[in-house]
Structure 1
Amino acid sequence: MTRRPIGYYVHHHGAGHRARAEAIAAAIDWPIVLLGTGLAVAGIDLADDRPVSGRFDGMDDTASRPAALHYAPVDHEGVRSRVARIAQWIATERPALMVVDVSVEVAMLARLASVPTVYVRLNGERSDAAHLEAFRGATALLAPFHLELEMPSTPAWIRDKTRYLPAITAAAQDHPRQDDHILIVIGRGGPPGDGAAIAQAARACPDIQWRVIGPVTAPTDRPANLDLAGWVDDPACEIASAGLIVGAAGDGLMGAVLAADRPFLCIPEERPFGEQRATARALHALGAAIMLETWPSPDQWPTFISQAKALPPYARKRLHDRNGVDAAATWLATMAATAVQELEPVV
């Protein structure tokens, strides 16, 4: 008997959502189909719903938008097309479960289409009406971070509905650490790195080799100990090989740093609902990273590097689960099997 698939909606802002989805898809013992913008042949490729301006923060400025929605622009062809495509796929394939990573609107659409949903709940202060209604409508919530990184203000009913599954990322490989190498990681979700400021930091620490992966503006005078690598095929390998990581507080980078057990200087970027700031503050409080509010001045770097390298490894290790991907895959497969039994009871 053919098993009804799991649909996995992948948000297109940042790289972490897709990385999670692909890691789970590779590990799960259940048919799974990815749905999202930019997937090409990797799944169901949906029309782009972003504004013409290209700027996207997950909200729209429509005055008449219901409080239970974040992004519902009026007369947007991309939005109309993707809603129809998702609904058509649900009607045709009759999924056992929809995982939504992340979108309040897609979660509501799946629930309206009579599909059990698992909503991926990111960190931050998500007490607005839209998030709360998506949480209530979901069968379960998945938090891709450790319970100890949870915000104290999160209500008990949300915690009780949440399965905490840290380290949903590709398996880390063992690499020899180069303690005199610092890796700066610039992700897809924010602006390019400031090449001039990075060059100043490298000059302030001439005995350390600095390497940047991701987009960065070109400095006018690049020191010899600074390598600007751009996009790389295997960032996890780069992270595992470095002596210290500098970067933002997205779930993807945090998971890779914890998986590799590397010292971390964390500079959170502005995100809706304070997601990265909440994560960075919790990592700092637990001794798993040094949080920096802003990019340091050149003379501050030696001190911050020493502080990060002095953090105890156990503080990082306790927040990581080496079997995180398998645990997530097993749990979702069990959720799908349970849903099928409830939707199609034996008579």
Structure 2
Amino acid sequence: MIGWYVHHHGYGHLSRFLAVQPHLRVPVAAFSSLPRPAGLDGAVPWTQLPPDADVVVQPDGSLCDPREADPTARGHLHWAPHGHPGHRARLAGIAEAAVARDLRVLVADVSAEVAVFARLLGLRTVVVTQPGDRTDAPHALAYDLADRILAPWAHGIVPSAALADRGDRVAWTGGVSRYDGRAASLPLPGRSVLFLGRTLEPEVRATAAAALSARGWTVDAIGHDAASRVDDPWPLLSSRTVVVSAAGQNSVADLAAAGARAVVIAQERPFDEQQRTADALRSAGLARVAPADVSAEELVAHVEGAAGDSPDWSRWQVAGAARRFAEAVEAMLP
């Protein structure tokens, strides 16, 4: 059986797991702080792990604030606070499942500590990497111990210094999108734009939307708050003239699946992940890139310019990426 750790920051890691899981030919057990997702195959065990970043009361009545408990082990780890029961319980739960379910491989998407722990358990370890400057000590340790490193983008399109000396263990799968193979909706008549997610400040989005509407554009905005969320954004994503999106790995893979003309805005993330991705998209001519502090006037210009673009999203290699990802994981089974 394969174990799979799904990181709880955002929903990109979960989306990747849900896209890959149907392609796995062997059973998989998942571990995450996130609750079990709706629609997951009922045969897949889902272990919801306790939190390890909250302040807890110790048996003696004292408080344990993990931020003050040497969580990085003097910079050698990302997060392993002293004395936190949730942290111990998380790793104990993974270890227990490794024995009870006879795990042979563990996919860490993403956690340096889980990757290292899996290797210490003697499991074949698959580490999912991301763009950005990941040459720090914790990442280096995880990558050095990994039996396989999976990069969910096309080889050569996003530079990564962390992978430069580890290429013999890296598999570039292409961008993994839940929409791979799904037919696009018919284009909306006229010019239309979709503002996707919490990419813009509300005032900038509203002002840009008003200006574009005045120029004859149809404007939609989804995912920026609870009221604007939709269960299935694909019909909008695949039918609008231009999409304005963040530069996260799943967002970009979805843009590629839709063949979208896009304006991407890198959000602040650890290790400059989205900025490095946005830079790669600009260099490859796949999307227009606007700064995080873009004005409404500048955004309108970017959107109208993008309407005439013809990006070759095949370069992101989304077609078949989830299957290739699954095959790379299964190849580690003894």
TM bucket (normalised to shorter chain) is 0.7 to 0.9
AA paired with 1:134?
A
C-alpha distance in structure 1 between counterparts of 2:208 and 2:91, whole Å: 47
Quick check: 1:177 aligned with 2:174? no
Q: Is residue 2:99 matched to residue 1:123?
A: no
Q: For 2:107, which of 90, 99, 109 is the aligned residue?
A: 99
- Residue 205 of structure 1 contacts residue 301 of structure 1 at CA under 8 Å; is this kept in 2? no
Question: Aligned with 2:220: secondary structure?
Answer: strand
The 1-side partners of 2:147 and 2:261 are apart by 37
For 1:52 and 1:177, locate their aligned partners in 2 and report how far apart those are by CA, in whole Å: 50
Aligned to 1:287: 285
* Pair 1:77–1:256, CA change in 2 (3 A): same
Moved more, 35-44 or 272-281: 35-44
Which residue does 2:319 correspond to in 1? 322
Question: Compared with structure 1, are the counterparts of its residues 73 and 237 closer, same or farther at alpha carbon in structure 2 (3 Å cutoff)?
Answer: farther
Q: Choose the corresponding residue for 1:23, options 19, 24, 29.
A: 19
Structure 2 segments unaligned to the other structure (5+ residues): 41-45, 57-65
The 5-angstrom pairing of residues 60-71 of structure 1 reads 60=67, 62-63=69-70, 65-71=73-79
Contact 1:125 1:274 in 2 (8 A): yes
Query: What residue is the counterpart of 2:63 in the other structure?
Result: none
CA distance in 1, matches of 2:239, 2:55: 40
Amino acid at match of 1:185: L
Please say which of residues 205-214 and 32-41 is displaced more in the overlay.
32-41
Q: Is the 8 A contact 1:247 1:267 kept in 2?
A: yes
Structure 1 position 62, deviation (Å)? 4.2
Per the alignment, residue 344 of structure 1 pairs with none
| The one of 311, 331, 334 aligned to 1:334 | 331
Give 1:1-347 correspondences, 5 Å limit.
5-40=1-36, 43-52=46-55, 60=67, 62-63=69-70, 65-151=73-159, 153-170=161-178, 171=180, 172-178=182-188, 180-186=191-197, 193-206=200-213, 207-216=216-225, 230-314=228-312, 316-336=313-333, 340=334
* Partners of 2:174 and 2:307 in 1: CA distance: 23
What is the rounded CA distance, in whole Å, between the counterparts of 2:262 and 2:101 in structure 1? 44
Q: What 5-or-longer segments of structure 1 have no aligned partner?
A: 54-58, 217-227, 341-347
- In the alignment, the residues of structure 1 paired with residue 167 and residue 307 of structure 2 have an alpha-carbon distance, to the nearest angstrom, of 33
Task: Encode CA deviations 1:168-216: one digit per residue, 9 max, x unaligned.
Answer: 22233321122522111116xxxx8532221100121121122121134
Deviations 1:76-102 (A, max 9, x none): 222121111111111212212101000
CA distance in 2 between counterparts of 1:295 and 1:317 reads 30
1:161 Cα deviation (Å)? 2.0
Normalized against structure 1, the TM-score is what?
Answer: 0.84
Amino acid at match of 2:53: R
SS at 1:40 equivalent: coil
Q: Report if the CA contact (8 A) 1:149-1:279 is conserved.
A: no
- Report the residue type matching 2:208 in the other structure: A
Q: Write the distance in 1 (CA, Å) between the matches of 2:75 and 2:211.
A: 49
3-state SS, counterpart of residue 316 of structure 2: coil
Q: What one-letter code is carried by the residue in structure 2 that aligns with 1:176? A: L
Separation in 2, partners of 1:286, 1:60: 40
Give the residue type in structure 1 aligned to 2:50.
Answer: A
- Between the aligned partners of 2:55 and 2:228, the Cα distance in structure 1 is 27
Shift of 1:66: 4.4
